[in-house]
Every structure is written in structure tokens, then in C-alpha cells.
Chain A
Amino acid sequence: MSERRWPTLSGPVVKDQYKVSPFLVFYLVHSVQVGVGVMGFQRISARAAGNDAWISVFVAGLSLHIIIFLIYKILNKEKGDIISLHKNLFGKWLGGLLSCIVICYFIAMSITVLRTYIEVIQVWIFPDLNKWLFGGVFLLLTYYCLSGGFRVVAGISFFGVVLPFYLVLTMLFPIFYGHFQDLLPVFNHSFKEIYEGAKGSSLSFLGFTTLFLYYPFIKEPEKSHSWAQGGHLLTTIMYTVIMIVTIAYFSTAQLEKTIWATLTTWKIAEMPFVQRFEYIGIASWALVILPNLCITVWAGGRGIRRLLNVSQRSVTLPLLFLILIVSSLFAKRENIDLLNEYTSKVGFYFVYIYVPLLFVLQYVKSKVVKAK
């Protein structure tokens, strides 16, 4: 990456050779959303919204289409990323501080993803797995992908969607044991309960805000809007279907006890060549987790690189070390649960409050500048 310093007030300039096609945004958005959240988001939603939790998930998904629309409105106007936007709106210091928070959020996301995945492996497959060793090797792989630059990250996210997509078919097994009358009566919960359920499902939708950083890397970025909406739509449909199957498969009190509902439904899968499908499913999940880590770590590194004007390569390695150390510090289930809860809470407010706020501020500022 070039070391030239860009003028501070305009957006960053990315050379054409580093840019990716607009359709890859479909995979970038979808793959960063589908991560550790989908393994167990059902319980959190169902706790509040019961058998209407699928409505919560669907509503949460639909509302985020509007947020993606706002993100594109902001970025199309800015022609840059969130770092330049912050600088333009809030000035060097306050803008820089806000950028720091956003960067920390992305890094926290990557820590959450890595630690939760390691926890799943420890609980489900290898109780004596060394989290340092596995985390180290996995981050080494992430480093390898990141050292190829953003184009490789986009490629990885393409494979992270296409290769494990067959896992969708495993949702057929629980359907045979489904009690679909459990979905009735529909709309039996108050709006508040459905809202709480939607809030609970938000972690599984998060991550697409990385758009704020890779936007300048898209060729003809305006054209990628529909691809981003498409990627998110796929996530929404997928989650709603998973939620419907889960409600039909489990009884309410049983679901509340089940930490990883999606993984537990795999226990019913029976195939002639494999007794326990979870082993294959969780192993395949590494392909889903890898783009997740790559995109969030890349976004964090990119943010730091833009903020401090250093080369991204020199940032990545210390960043990965930090992620390894912090993620390994979380040892107990409750702590990991807390980490998940806080990340999703921060993400929830970032998406639903901060993004609309940015949109309004940018609009007001452009009016003011014009008036002058």
C-alpha cells in the first residue's frame, strides 16, 4: 500500500487495482453477518417474544434494510469512509475520538467471534482444546488472508458464503420433528415483547457496518447498493426460516435451556456415513468464521491506518496479537456471554441510533455549507 499522505478533508483515494467489483458486496455483507450469532440467537429472541420470535427476527431484518439505505446515502455523499466523515463533521480531535470508538468496536467484534467459536469447539468437540494454540493458528490464517489486501478478503468472503451454504439443507432434519402448531397463534405478543425479541436477535445481524470502511474499495460504489441490500435480504430470510424451524422443533421452555439451538438441532440429523453431524457442521463453520474475522480485523486495521497514516501491514500483526491475548483472557461461559451481550448492545445502538444521527448531521452540515 502506498505511503502517500492524502489531503485530510476529502475521502481516501484507492487505486483501481485494489478495488473489487460491486457484486462482491453481496458476499461481504452476508458473510460478515452470518457468524457466531446464528448458532444461538433463537433463545435470546424467544425469551422475550416466545412463539412470535420469528416476527421479531423478520422485523429486525427489514428495519436494517433502511439502515443500509442510510449508510449508502451517507457514503455516496461523502465519497469516502467513516474516518473522513468523522473528520469533516466533528473536526480532527472529536472526529478522531469517535473513529477510535468505531475501530474498537470492530476489534471487539472480532474478539467476540473468535472467542465464541473457540468456546463452541471446546464445549462440543474437544474439551481440552488449547485456546491459545487454536486461536494463534486461526489468526495466522487470518494474517495470511489479510496480507493479500482487501481483494483477498473479498474473495474469502465469497467462499465463506458459497462453500458452507449446504448447511442450510441441514435445517430439513428438524422439520420432520417440527410441531408447526407451536407457531400459532400468530401475533400473540405485545409490540414491546416483539421489539425486545428483535433487539435480542441483533448480534446475529451485525457487522455490515464495516461497509463504512471498505466503501472506497468498491468499483462504482453507487452500483453496489442493491448488492448490499441483497446480501442482507438473504441473511434476513435465512434467519427467519431458522427461527421458524427452531420454534416448531423445540418447546418454549426447552428452547430457553438450549444455548446453541442451531447446533442442537443438528443432533437429530442422521446420515448413513456420520453418527454425529455437529462435528462436520462445526468444522465447516470455520469457513464461516474466517471471513468474519478477516473483514472485522481488516476494518479495524484500515481504520487505524487511516487515522494514524501508517501502513496497514504494520498494524495488522500487533492487532492480531491483541485479539489473541484479549480473547484468550475470557475463560468462563458467563464472561463470554457477557462479551457477546455487550458487543451486540453496542452494535445495536451504533446501527439504530448512531447511523441515523450521522445521516442527519451530514444533511444539516451540507445545508449549512451551501447557505454560506
Chain B
Amino acid sequence: MRRSFYLFLCILLLTGCVQQSILDDIQMITIIGYDLPDSEEEDDDLIKGIAVAPQYHADGKIENTVFVETAKLSKEIRSQYNAESPKPIVSGKLEIALFSRDIAETEGVMSLIDTLQRDPSIGSRVFLGISNGDTEELLRTNYGNVDTGTYFQDILKHNSKHGMLPEMNLHSFLYSHFSEGSDPFLPILDSDGDKGKIIGIGLLDDGKMVSELDAESLFTFKILHEKFSSNDSFSVKIDPDNYAAIYNIASKRKINYKSREENKIKITGNILGVIKEYSGHALTPEALKEIELTMEKDIEKRGAKMIQSFQELGIDPLSLGNAVRSKTRGEFDSEKWIEKYKQMDISFDMKVKITESGIIE
């Protein structure tokens, strides 16, 4: 009897203590974009926030509601969204956050990322990106019968899983930003008519975008950055009218620090690939060798140029600093390291091996 009394008491006391969030009664933001306000005369500190919340209708149609507000703090923007939304807005389903190129280049993204990192309801897998043009236009575009947030998330997800984009979500971004020997980068997105598109990556230093790489350089960058396997192909021009497309199976990078004391680092990339397309007549062993060599040279040239520009800018998106730190005894001084890094002799060596040439000879 007494037990059932306690049980009754618990049931009575435990219900309705806190605010409920029933799925049908809330607006879930899936994508949020930040931009500088259009009008110049207003206060400089203001930020324009654009949020998109999908509405799922019973007939299978998905309608994207766009909220645009301007305020000083991003959470202040949210309370303004609530003022124009029929249902309370929650951010637990946020998939991607975009910053405009203007913000990334001038103010930096860290003050806006602070709220994403502080809010316990936002996951670590949220993707971050830079919008190339007008963020509001990018988010207002209708990309078909899909929820805009999930659409962009899918683009970034499959490209970083199987494509040429190195993975970068909220957690990896924060890891790189706060790490002693690494600088983060973010994918740059743009709309191409009614489609979204990755047009490259922006390289950040201290939260500000200082340089960028175009989509063509992504393959080389990913080889330098991490071990991966992808489904994208790389085309090699052997001579003006002869080319081959190589479908990359697996790539590994190795860093040799043996002579780091003499300020020398050697990066070796290793690719295993398969030929997917060949414009020549017959794929003889000699032709294969030539393709391998041409590809090696091509990537080496691009890679060396890329590394040189990183050194000139004093950024380290390849996390070489972390790798060196893990081999250095005693205190690691990141300031000193960057100075050293700028003068460092970093060589890049590429090895390509073509294992198969498809199902015909």
C-alpha cells in the first residue's frame, strides 16, 4: 500500500515539471546562415541571420520557411525569429551553419561559432561552410522538394565521405582551431541555378579566411591532408590530345620528420588507382608507366605550390605542427613553430600505382 502510494506520488510529481517540446508544435531549424546586413548606415556590429525551417505536409510536400532577422547576438536573432514564427523555434536539429564570405574575411567566424559550441542542443556533427555569394539568396533558393538544410548537409556529407572534400564538422573545426599546430578550413558553397555546389575550400587563420583553394585543387589537398579512399576521378593530360582519367581507390600520406632539426620535412603521398577512361589506342605497359609519371609530376607540382603558399601565409591546414609536436620533447611553442614553419624546406613526393585498367584491354 505504501509502495503504491510512493509510486503514485512519483507519477504525480514527475509529469509536467518542465517545458515540453512536442514535434508537431515546434519549428526545427535545419540550416542557419550569417551575413552582414545590406544597408551600410546601420551599426557595424549587427549580424543578419537567415534560418530555414522545413514544414512537412501530409501530402509529402516539404515547404521551407525562411526567417531573416538582424541583431547583435545570434541568440538574440533567434528570439526575433520566435516573434515571427507561429511555433517556438528550436535548434536541436541544426545540420549546417553557413557564414558569408564577407563575415569570414572581415570579422571572422569565431564569435558566431561560440553559440554553436556553447549550446548543448547542437551536435558536434553540424557541418560548417562559407557561402560564396549572398547568403540569403543561397538559402532562399528552392532546391526541389527537399529541406534546404538536409540538402546541403547531404552534399557535404557524401563529398567528404567518398569525394574530394576533407571532412570538416563543428568538432573537427574546433579541434583544429584550438590545436597548437593546425589551422582549420571550411568548404565554400554557392548556388548554381537550382542546385547547390561546392566551389572550393576557404583556409582560415585565427577564425578569419585568408586564402582559398578552388575545386580542382581539392584532390591534391586531400592527398596532403589525410588518408582516404574516394570515388572521384582525376584526369591526366599526357600530351595535348591524349588523356586518361584515373579513378582513385586509396591514398595514403606519410610524413618523414627525420631531418626536422635541419628544418626539413618530407611528405610522401601514395595513390592506388584504376584507369577509367583512356583516349589513346592501346594501353601498353609503357603507356601505363607514362600515365603514372605524368600524374605524379602533375600532383607534385600542384602540391609544392600549395605548400609554398601555406608557408607564405603562415597557415598550417595540413596539421604539420601537430605532427611535429608529437615528436618534440619539452614545451611546444606554437608561435616559434609558425616562424620555423615559414622557413621550412618541405618536399613533396608522389607515388602513383595503377593497379587495374578496367574490364577491357
Chain A residues packing against B (C-beta within 8 Å): 123-126, 128-130, 133-134, 136-137, 140-141, 144, 177, 179, 181-185, 188, 249-254, 257, 264, 267-268, 270, 275-276, 278
Contacts and interface: CB of A to CB of B under 8 A. Distances in A.
Nearest to B120: A124
B123 A144 contact: no
Interface in B77-103: 92-93
Interface of B: 3, 6, 9-10, 13-14, 17-19, 92-93, 120-121, 123-125, 171-172, 174-180, 182, 322-323, 326-330
Contacts of B6: 140, 144
24 contacts: A123-B120, A125-B120, A126-B17, A128-B19, A133-B13, A133-B17, A136-B13, A137-B10, A137-B13, A140-B9, A140-B10, A144-B3, A177-B175, A185-B326, A185-B329, A252-B178, A252-B180, A253-B178, A254-B174, A254-B179, A267-B125, A268-B124, A276-B92, A276-B121
Contact of A130 (B10, B17, B326, B327): B17
A188 B330 contact: yes
A183 B6 CA distance: 50
Contact of B179 (A123, A129, A253, A267): A253
Contacts of A252: 178-180
Contact of B123 (A123, A253, A267): A267
Nearest to A260: B120
Query: Which 10 A-B pairs give the minimum distances between C-beta atoms?
Result: A251-B179, A253-B178, A184-B326, A254-B178, A267-B124, A126-B18, A181-B326, A268-B124, A124-B120, A251-B178
Given A128-B19, A129-B17, A253-B179, A182 B326 contact: yes
B17 A275 contact: no
B17 A179 contact: no
Contacts of A181: 322-323, 326
Contacts of B328: 185
Contacts of A179: 175, 322
B18 A275 contact: no
A250 B175 contact: yes
Contacts of B17: 126, 129-130, 133-134
A134 B330 CA distance: 48
A267 B170 CA distance: 11
B18 A129 contact: yes
A170 B156 CA distance: 25
A272 to B, nearest CB: 14
A184 B18 contact: no
Contacts of A276: 92, 121, 123
Nearest to B126: A267
A296 to B, nearest CB: 21
Contact of A275 (B9, B93, B182): B93
A133 B125 CA distance: 34
Nearest to A253: B178
A319 B323 CA distance: 54
Contacts of B171: 177, 267-268
Nearest to B181: A251
A200 to B, nearest CB: 20
A140 B7 CA distance: 10
Contacts of B120: 123-125, 278
A267 B182 CA distance: 22
A276 B90 CA distance: 13
Contacts of A267: 123-125, 171
Contacts of A124: 120
Given A140-B6, A184-B327, A278-B120, A251 B175 contact: yes
Contacts of B322: 179, 181-182
A254 B175 CA distance: 7
B64 to A, nearest CB: 19
Interface-centre pick from A126, A185, A270 (highest chain B CB count, 10 A): A185
Contacts of B327: 184-185
Contacts of B182: 251
Given A130-B17, A252-B178, A253-B178, 9 more contacts: A124-B120, A128-B19, A140-B10, A141-B10, A184-B326, A251-B174, A254-B177, A268-B125, A278-B120
Interface-centre pick from B124, B125, B180 (highest chain A CB count, 10 A): B124
Contacts of A264: 124
A297 B219 CA distance: 61
Contacts of A268: 123-125, 171
B180 to A, nearest CB: 7
B326 A126 contact: no
Contacts of A249: 175
A228 to B, nearest CB: 33
A276 B91 CA distance: 12
Contacts of B121: 276
Nearest to B93: A275
A264 B6 CA distance: 35
Contacts of B124: 264, 267-268
